[in-house]
Structure 1
Amino acid sequence: MWDRLLSSKRVGAESAFRSSCESRDNFHKDYDRIIFSHAFRRLSKKTQVHPLSKNDHVHNRMTHSLEVASVGRSLGLGAGKVLKAKKIPVDPYQIAYIVQTACLAHDLGNPPFGHAGEDVIKVWFRENVERLPDMDETQRNDFRHFDGNAQSFRIVTQLENYLYNGGLRLTYATLATLVKYPFSSNECKKREKSKFGYFQSEKELFDRIFDALGLRNDDGSYRRHPLSYLMEAADDICYALLDIEDALELGIVRWEDVEEIFFKLTGESKVREILSSKGLPPSHLHSKIIAFAITHLVDEGMETFEREYDRIVSTGLESDLVACFDNRALREGLQEAKDFGVASIFSNRRNVELELGAYSIIKTILDALVDAACRHAQNEKLSFYQKKALMLMGEKSPLKLRPANTYEAIQRVVDYVSGMTDNHAHHVARQLKGVFSGVE
């Protein structure tokens, strides 16, 4: 089983270039391909939670992804040792690389302005369904339920590096570990999920990968790769706790507001011991408390993977790994941290104000580009404004690489918008409105 699950087969042909250097194995190469990619570099200018923050200590998508990858590596190494103890012939460090790389890539498809950007794209297409002609319902759902997870899969398999020819050409094992939701947008309603794992444009590729890894169920559906639960747990741990750290840094919440959460996660005696330390600023003390919490959660995550192993590899879990924690304090503490983020951090007045601005920015761009791309795909004449707007998209513009149909044309626009940094989206929206800075 694991010889299939750890397949090093790559998407796309590899004949173009082969390195003579054998110092890196295939999964190490996957990691390097993500790190050196343009899509990963852009994460440094994309919002995690707090849009356009001027505080350099606050997380952006890149620092978040690096921290998730660090936690994921620890979970992966622990899982590798569990497999080794079961006499499964694996290298624990290869498992660590696979999980670490999937963690690095998990947010590549997220649009500018954090979760607000993702919501704006969905809302825009739901409000403008008449702008989605010549498509079946499944294709429309890709836009009405737009998901950064599916966009991440599209980036690494199609858009980055080898355009429409394998993307980053990652291994099957890494790609499957990246997928939290092994179904399409068409399944969202039936499964009562708002998330999904791939667009219709990548369906054939997705099926090929998951079939090769032996992840198809008897009913034709797919189950998750066992290592994807570790990637998801790493993300859950980091965003729940480090969003709180950012909120403390920005003065949005007080330590007293979250102390009870960390009594559960770190231990009350340890929290009080750290807070009594002399000579360190509060932010350093809070970071130390959070670090202990992460350590406890990682240890519990590895124990849970070992305990739930048979279920994970046979049918998969009905929920995530964290929900299966035996330690009630850790399980409830992490959930309380997530709930606190939704209630007190995401809804902070400044964030809401900036999210309204994000809506205006992304709406301006979609208003200008979607109609133009559709008209071009249908061989209709473009206005001067529409043609110039499409030219802003650069080498991936429909003007440069003609789309086969309307679905593909709109995907190009969504690829462009979701790939933008916060600053670039703001700049392009101003250009489309005819607002220029620095003009004398």
Structure 2
Amino acid sequence: MNWQSLYTTQRTGSSRGNSTDPVRNSFLRDYDRIIFSSGFRRLQNKTQVFPLPGAIFVHNRLTHSLEVASVGRSLGKAAGEQIAARHACANETHTEFYRYELASVIASACLAHDIGNPPFGHSGEDAIRAFFRELEGDNKKIIEDNLSPNQRRDLEYFEGNSNAFRILTHNFNEPEPGGYRLTYTTLAALVKYPCTSAEGFNKNSISTKKSGFFDSEIDTYTQIAAALGIPRLAEGSNIYARHPFVYLTEAADDICYRVIDLEDAHRLRIVSTDTFMDLFLPFFDGETGPYTRRSYIDGKLAAINDDNQKVQYIRARWIGLMVDKLAAAFMAHEEQLLAGTLDKDLLKCLSPADHELIGRINTFSVENIYNYRSVVEIEVAGYNVIGGLLRELVQAVLHPGLSKSGKVLKIIPAQFPVTGKGRDVYGDVRSVVDFISGMTDLYAIDLYRKMTGISIPDIR
């Protein structure tokens, strides 16, 4: 791969290239299309970590995505400036892209990185996987007889990252192809695990740690890879090298959730101020910058009275420090990035001391935040709600001749087409999963109550 061919203004569903808009270039239009979409707005009521809503405001998927996009823009700007400076003798158009437009690409990819996540956080993914893995009897046989191994893995290993790519590129029940019709560049910067479900979930490679596209989107990603010169890692496979921009998108997410989840826990009084400081202040030991040296940080903290303000100050300084370090790590591994051989994320490229400190944050968060009682409760609720919805809707799709099925199928919106005759089992089941994965937490709970008779809907 080379920097000159790793971007294009080509869009899904369109043969046209450059935008003729004098104000918004192609990559700014990507950002606008995502932020004004209904799929993005629904993130407002999807769980990040802690249950929603509450008396104390904590992050949801939407606020998290906005913050990741902000950090991603900074990473894209820092890396782009260095690429432009290092390859200044290259074509002027390429220099302009890296200096001024890469930041928008990374911000757009970050904005959309969670758009495929179902309700109730990662437990929503687990609930969908568990439902299809635990199918029994006739339903299991219908799935096995009508779906390919890769299509079954799409369901049994349902992945929010693959679902994001589907949402952004699939036209669902609309005549115009291409979904959101984003540039190939932004989409490539989003796909962290460029492989199918059948080839993914293999931790021997960073490209196959999970999956990046479903069976239904293989051709779309193949076209993107061909246009951008992304190589296959194995001949005859659908496993690709990671696009270098993905590392920046991933780094922005990694930075944010490590510090933001702890900031939320502090606001909820799950984590003390002293504990928060013990986890993050050591990163500034040995720093010599005018605003990052430990003595400066300590002096600023001493002048702040409110504990929440202290935590916010450290969060801001730590994010700035990580942006600088990870942009430098990105450029330090330029050769491996372009060769498609960098088999670890940018956080793992930090110094051993920083890597150890990141490990402390990870361990603490798992033990004290992600297994906190209210977090576990929302995960259990997610299993029951999503499992119950799938049970009703999949049963109707697989057995359309049953008297109840016709009524149940009318609940599925027209944008998620179902044949109602069992002719396209994979397509019909995918439409059910599309419908459920796009729900907000509250909508899923409300529909579950109505379908199970816990509450009776009003006649409107």
Alignment TM-score > 0.5, same fold: yes
Report the Cα distance in structure 2 between the residues aligned to 1:199 and 1:163, rounded to whole angstroms.
21
Write the deviation string for residues 267-304 of structure 1: whole angstroms up to 9, x where unpaired. Answer: 454553343224x4211110111111111100001111
- TM-score (ref. length: structure 2): 0.88
Name stretches of at least 5 consecutive residues in structure 2 with no aligned partner. 286-293
1-side partners of 2:132 and 2:70: how far apart?
A: 36
* Match runs of 1:378-397 below 5 Å: 381-384=401-404, 386-397=405-416
Letter of the aligned partner of 1:262 in structure 2? F
Instruction: State yes or no: 1:371 paired with 2:395.
Output: yes
Structure 1 match to 2:231? 216
Corresponding residue to 1:420 among 430, 434, 439: 439
Opposite residue 219 of structure 1, the aligned amino acid is A
CA distance in 1, matches of 2:363, 2:22: 47
Measured after TM superposition, the shift of residue 98 of structure 1 is 0.5
Q: Deviations over 1:304-334 (max 9, x none)?
A: 11111111111231110110113x3433323
Q: Which amino acid aligns with 2:368?
A: S
Post-superposition CA distance 1:197-226 (Å, at most 9, x none): 000000011111111111113633411111
Q: How far apart in 1 are the matches of 2:230 and 2:81?
A: 23
Question: AA paired with 2:23?
Answer: S
- Correspondence 1:320-339 to 2 at 5 A: 320-326=345-351, 328-339=352-363
- 1:243 paired residue number: 261
Say if 2:19 and 2:26, in contact at 8 Å, map to a contact too: no
Identity %: 39
Q: How does 1:298-313 map to 2 (within 5 A)?
A: 298-313=323-338
TM-score, normalised on structure 1? Answer: 0.92
Deviation at 1:116, TM superposition (A): 1.2
Name 1:114's counterpart in structure 2: 121
Amino acid at match of 2:340: T
In the other structure, the counterpart of 1:6 is 7
Q: CA deviation at 1:365?
A: 0.2
Q: 2:212 aligns with which of 170, 179, 197?
A: 197
Paired residues, what number?
A: 431
Report the secondary structure of 2:170's partner residue. helix
Q: Aligned equivalents of 2:429 and 2:183: distance in 1?
A: 28
Aligned partners of 2:13 and 2:176 also within 8 Å: no
Q: Distance in 2 between matches of 1:430 and 1:49?
A: 23
Q: Give deviations 1:123-163, integer Å, cap 9, x for gaps.
A: 11111161623112111111111110000000000147956
1:430 aligns with 2:449: yes
- Residue in structure 1 matched with residue 85 of structure 2 by the alignment: 85
**What corresponds to 2:291 in structure 1?**
none
Mapped partners of 1:163, 1:30: distance in 2: 21
1:286 aligns with 2:301: no
Q: Could you list the per-position Cα deviations for residues 379-430 of structure 1 after superposition, in whole angstroms to 9, with x for gaps in the alignment?
A: xx1323x222222221234457988611111110111111000000000100
Residues 1:136 and 2:148 are matched in the alignment:
yes
In the alignment, structure 1 segments of 5+ residues that lack a partner are none
State the alpha-carbon separation in 2 of the partners of residues 333 and 356 from structure 1: 31
Trace 1:98-113 onto structure 2 (pairs within 5 A): 98-113=105-120
Q: CA deviation at 1:28?
A: 0.7
Which SS does the other structure have where 1:351 is aligned? helix
> Which secondary structure does the structure 2 equivalent of 1:227 belong to?
helix
Q: How far did 1:435 drift? A: 2.4
CA contact 1:390–1:398 (8 Å) conserved in 2? no
Distance 2:436 2:382 in 1: 12
Amino acid at match of 1:2: W
AA matched with 2:264: D
Q: Is residue 266–residue 290 contact of structure 1 (8 Å, CA) maintained in 2?
A: no
Contact 2:173 2:414 (8 Å CA) reproduced: no
Given residue 333 of structure 1, which amino acid in structure 2 is its aligned partner? L
> Is the contact between residue 33 and residue 168 of structure 1 (CA under 8 Å) also seen in structure 2?
yes
Tell me which residue corresponds to 1:275.
Answer: 301
- Give the aligned residue type for 1:297: M
CA distance in structure 2 between the aligned counterparts of 1:215 and 1:316, rounded to whole angstroms: 12
Q: 1:189 to 1:72 in 2, by over 3 A?
A: closer
Amino acid at match of 2:379: E
Decide whether the 8 Å contact of 2:450 with 2:457 is kept in 1.
no
Higher mean Cα deviation, 19-28 or 314-323?
19-28
Shift of 1:46: 0.6
- Is 53-62 or 105-114 further displaced after alignment? 53-62
Whichever residue aligns with residue 247 of structure 2, its letter is Y
Secondary structure at 2:399's aligned position in 1? helix
**Cα pair distance change 1:298/1:401, threshold 3 Å:** farther
- Distance between the aligned counterparts of 2:222 and 2:420, measured in 1? 26
Deviates more, 1:162-171 or 1:115-124: 162-171
Given that residues 398 and 422 in structure 2 are in contact (C-alpha distance below 8 angstroms), is that contact kept between their aligned partners in structure 1?
Answer: no
Aligned equivalents of 2:417 and 2:406: distance in 1? 10
Distance 1:357 1:339, change over 3 A: same
